[in-house]
Amino acid sequence: MKTATLEKKTHSPKAKHPTDLIRQIQKGLRFSELETLQNSIDMPFEQLAAKLCISRSTLQRRKAAGRLSPDESDKVMRLWRLLEHATKVFGDIDKARAWLKFPQRGLGGAVPLDYAETEVGAREVDNLLGRIDYGVYS
Q: pTM of the predicted model, to two decimals?
A: 0.85
Domain boundaries, the chain: 14-133
Query: For 29-74, what is each residue's pLDDT tens digit?
Result: 999 999 999 999 999 988 999 999 999 899 999 999 999 999 999 9
CA angle 5, 9, 13 (to 5 degrees): 110
Closest CA to 120 of 109, 107, 132, 133: 107
Angle between helix 18-27 and 70-90 (nearest 10): 130
Give the distance, in angstroms, between the CA of residue 78 and the centroid of all CA atoms in the same chain: 5
